Amino acid sequence: MNIKDIARLAGVSPTTVSKILNRKDQNISSQTRTVVLDTIKKYHYTPYARITAQRNTWLVGVCVRETKENMRLVSGIIETLQKHHISTLVVYTSEKSREEQSITELIQSNISALIWEPLNTMQTPTNTTIDNLCAKHDIEVLKLGKDGGKQNYSIDFETLAHDLSAELILAGHRHIACLTNKETPRAFIQGYASILFQRKIMLAEQNCYTSVCNELLQALVNGDITAVVCASWQQAQDLRTQLYTLHIQAPQDFSLVCLQSDAEYALQSADEQTQIDTGAANTNGCASVVYSYLNTPISAYSISYKDFGTYIAQQLQIANQSVVDTDGCARKQDTASDAVFNFIPTHNALTTRASIASPQNNQHERIVIVGSINIDTQLLVDHIPDAGSTVTTTTSHISVGGKGLNYAIGVAKLAHKAVLIGNIGDDSESSMIYKELSRWNIDTKGVVRTKDEQTGKAYICVDKQGASTITILTGANSKLCAQDIIERKHLFKNASLCLIPSEVPLDAAEQACKEAKRQGAQVIFKPVALTEFPKRMAAYIDYIIPNEHELAALCYALKNCAQAHTPHRDDRSAKKAQNALIDHAHMLLNLGIPHVIVTRGEKGCDYFSASSHIHTPSHAFKTIDTTGASDAFICAFATSLLSNDTVERALDDACYAAGYSTTRPGVVQALIDAQTLELYRERHIDTKQNA
């Protein structure tokens, strides 16, 4: 800053400033004198002659914005310069009105070099003034600019974004969104766009987002976008957190990559430690599942701003290849005026591939359930009442239930994504339903409150031997119809399996079978209290799983249906199997259903197909309550199928899960979880190997 700058700032002529400095201001008004002296004081102005006489060769000034990343950058600068016995004077500023004053103060402190991040990347009057001031005082200047540019030092965000997006393309993604914010360098977007152009992937402007908005969330929910590249870890975490509430997870449903600075990594580590210290990581049940997921590392390229600071410090002539003049001042060597300095952080590979999967695998664990949703009232009695008898009890338990809800929670406990479709009432119990489904991270977009209807109720009597009877008040469940399924058909998209118990109206169940098959999903059908069964439904069912009583009732309904017919088997086969179970199972096979599984309680289960009959024994458990055994069986069988297990393996898992559920009262709390089932699998394999 020189006398002309002070004159401009004070609104007077340079001559006036000179007279006041040299105390020749007798003819100048006291008001003008006060304005000039205040300006001189504000900007710490010292005549150039006094500065050059006191120049400190071993002091570097740093003026940057106050950000977490810049604090790491400054630490790298300071540590590097200290090795050269050079001191550092740092000023953080975010106000354009104070930028010139801050740098003037640094110059007044006799710095020999300046590392400066201009608040305005354009060549403004302020920038020009600072440039001229540094040139006049022969101060070496290194400029930082997030978007690079001539004579600016910056991180090569274009290369980083290019390579980061390429990771998603190599995984098979073609519908990739870019998530940035107002601080993101333009180079990042340019790198994202360049790799799409190189790979001949259409760049859609609507796929570039500057915040986690509803449009982005909806595009991910609908599957229109299968992957997102984020400019920062914090944005990636915000996106992941919001999508979790919508039952969308990485990498099951979409892939996610980001840049992560060392400042963000330090913040993440501190947050994790805080949660551990406060016990958040040690909670039980679904809360620990949420904690575990949101603290799973995101696939990222690491950026060390501290290393960038080291790199910047090493470029200073005073620290590297200074040319010292006779007056002791470090003078800049000539550089090309159009030079561009890009720092490329070392990123040999992603930190992890935990949040990346191919789009074909993104939703392979998605299971859609169409079924009843109830509030269960369980009564523990000495014996199941006979007709005309009365029993009393002093023990009852109220919980959520219904086969649809039970299947959804059972699937979730076995670590698979569950989507539930059904109706509930507009009563107070509906809030209890939503709360429990949310607790297990179950997709509830298909669960709808029905006006002027009550939520379904189930009244369950359980005797001392664990046997039970169930009476159902259908409520809102009875209002679910085919049109409701059509309106919610988008929820079947990308499903691998669809579980449909017939506690809902048959037209809704049939429409659900059709929608599932249109999306390529296999259908598992549970016939509950059926008095009729349209033959046409068989074409949409892959597995039907009745118990012995349900099988007999279903086949009785078929025999009394004009379209039904008795299956034909040769005499030899009939002689070998003179029991109703096999007759009934083959009746269903002849309808076109390829797989029939009959659950038989303590007798295990029997599997039938056109070419095989497999009997799987039950597992020995001390029985307390058998109410949830059927639900546990179906959930374990379905998830085992999704894990590409053999039918034999899936049946054994299902029998174990069913037996396990009888050791606890109720249904939801008795359903087996993934860890328990996996422990059984390991023991089972060890036992077979030892045998």
Q: Give the pLDDT score at 440.
A: 85
Give the up-direction half-sphere exposure of residue 172: CA atoms within 13 A in the CB hemisphere: 8
Rounded CA-CA distance 555/593 in Å is 13
Rounded CA-CA distance 389/179 in Å is 67
Q: Give the pLDDT score at 688.
A: 52
Annotated catalytic residue, options 262, 631, 652, 653: 631
pLDDT in tens, 455-496: 999 888 888 877 778 888 999 999 999 999 999 998 998 899
666 is in an annotated binding site: yes
Superfamily the domain 155-269+287-321+340-362 falls into: Response regulator (3.40.50.2300)
328 is in an annotated binding site: no
172 is in an annotated binding site: no
124 is in an annotated binding site: no
Any alpha helices (H) in 540-628, and if so which ranges? 548-559, 571-576, 580-590
16 is in an annotated binding site: no
> What architecture (CATH level 2) is domain 59-143?
3-Layer(aba) Sandwich (3.40)
The answer to whether the CB of 606 falls within 8 A of the CB of 597 is yes
Question: How far apart, in Å, do the first and last CA atoms of the chain sit?
Answer: 90
The answer to whether the CB of 227 falls within 8 A of the CB of 176 is yes
599 is in an annotated binding site: yes
Q: What CATH number belongs to 366-370+406-417+436-443+480-563+573-687?
A: 3.40.1190.20
Q: Structural domain boundaries of the chain?
A: 3-43, 59-143, 155-269+287-321+340-362, 366-370+406-417+436-443+480-563+573-687
Rounded CA-CA distance 366/498 in Å is 9
475 is in an annotated binding site: no
- The H or E element spanning position 56 is none
61 is in an annotated binding site: no
627 is in an annotated binding site: yes
CATH fold match for the domains 59-143 and 155-269+287-321+340-362? yes
Phi first, then psi: give them for residue 38, nearest 5 degrees.
-65, -40
DSSP-assigned letters across all residues of 94-113? --HHHHHHHHHHHHHTT-SE
pLDDT in tens, 510-539: 999 999 999 999 999 999 878 788 899 999
What's the Cα-to-Cα distance from 538 to each of 510, 525, 530, 545, 630, rounded to whole Å? 10, 10, 14, 13, 21
Which residues in the chain land under pLDDT 50? 49-54, 276, 280-286, 288, 321-340, 362-364, 562-578, 689
Residues 6+ apart with CB under 8 A from 691: none
625 is in an annotated binding site: yes
The answer to whether the CB of 31 falls within 8 A of the CB of 43 is no
pLDDT in tens, 80-100: 999 888 899 999 988 888 888
Q: Pick from 210, 218, 215, 216: which is nearest to 179 by CA?
A: 210
Give the number of residues written for the chain.
691
678 is in an annotated binding site: no
User: Can you give the three-state secondary structure of 513-527, one letter per residue?
Assistant: HHHHHHCCCEEEEEC
The answer to whether the CB of 527 falls within 8 A of the CB of 544 is yes
Q: Give the pLDDT score at 564.
A: 38
Two tokens at 64? 């940057």
Q: Give the pLDDT score at 77.
A: 94
DSSP-assigned letters across all residues of 419-471? EEEEEEESSTHHHHHHHHHHHTT-EEEEEEEETT-PPEEEEEEE-TTS-EEEE
Rounded CA-CA distance 485/152 in Å is 60
631 is catalytic: yes
Rounded CA-CA distance 243/255 in Å is 12
Rounded CA-CA distance 437/423 in Å is 13
579 is in an annotated binding site: no
Phi-psi region of 284 (alpha: psi -120 to 50; beta: other; left: phi over 0): beta
Q: Give the pLDDT score at 319.
A: 66
The answer to whether the CB of 14 falls within 8 A of the CB of 21 is no
